[in-house]
Structure 1
Amino acid sequence: MLAARVELLQQMPIFGAIGAETLEFLLEPAPLVQVPAGGFFCREGDPAHAMFVLERGRVTVSKAWQGHDLLLRRLGEGDCFGEMALLDLFPRSASVRADEDCSAIELSSANLYRLFERDAAEFAVIQMNIGRELSRRLRETDQLLFRARMGEALTAPPRV
């Protein structure tokens, strides 16, 4: 089972260029979180301390707006969410609901700190990879904001 989890992480941009031994070290204390269909991994505004790697199932990421939950994205096996928690100390920026029974690997900031103490270079690569992923998302958001400011009618996200 550990080998399959290492392989799952190796396919993710956040863990690009990270060796199997390091990933095993990260996974060793990482709990597997089970969330039944309809349950929440986290809710917008909750304290944040960990990211999740979806091992099984599908989830909906949503944001509250004027009394409604609006779809941001849907994620499936091999996707991750909550990685902002590993860089900042702010509450969750969105809610993540299980669309079906799910299991996810929970990687906490404390777990990453263990890696920093063991191998600062590998820790730095993961941090840079997270930064790259967040930068990619920020570019997409900037483009949407620019288009909206220029008067382009954008499609509103659907309610969930």
Structure 2
Amino acid sequence: ARLGIQMVYQDLALAPDLNVPNNIFLGREIIKDSIFGRLFKLLDMKKMTEISKNHLAELGIGLKSLSVPVKSLSGGERQALAVAKAVAWCESVLIMDEPTAALGARQQALVYSTMRAAAQKNLGVLVISHDIPKMLEVADRICIMRQGVVIADLMASETNLQAVLSLMLTGRAA
């Protein structure tokens, strides 16, 4: 995190009972100046909500409400929120582990759109995925690992599904 690297985990790591701004700012809350000074710390929910709303809009994420508990959002909305939270604090690289696992097509589209928006903010986006056809469609580069070693680093536009699968399964090009 000190190097500006953020991670989106397969299990999302969101607080389901908190609302959207509280999830985005979890551990980085904005504190209001209070007449009680150091004795009472109050969250600046208005400021956190406004920043969250602007950040989500910047990434093209439209949620019906930011005030509802995250557990009431759809799977795709929760995944997009997890990506948005990481992008909010990311300065260099965003690592995503199976970001569309168990999502429907519409929910996957929302996540892929959010990934593209992150890349357009000049962030490096590294996606760990077994959805090879989709990665060939959305990625710039495909790196293939076997037994923990990178065996190929390919331009996505210059390869195909058969070549990637052959490298994955046999360690050799087709």
Question: What TM-score range do you get, normalising by the shorter chain?
Answer: under 0.3
Q: Structure 2-normalised TM-score?
A: 0.24
Pair member with larger Rg: 2
Kindly indicate whether structure 1 or structure 2 has the higher relative contact order, using CA contacts under 8 Å at least 6 residues apart: 1
Q: Structure 1-normalised TM-score?
A: 0.26
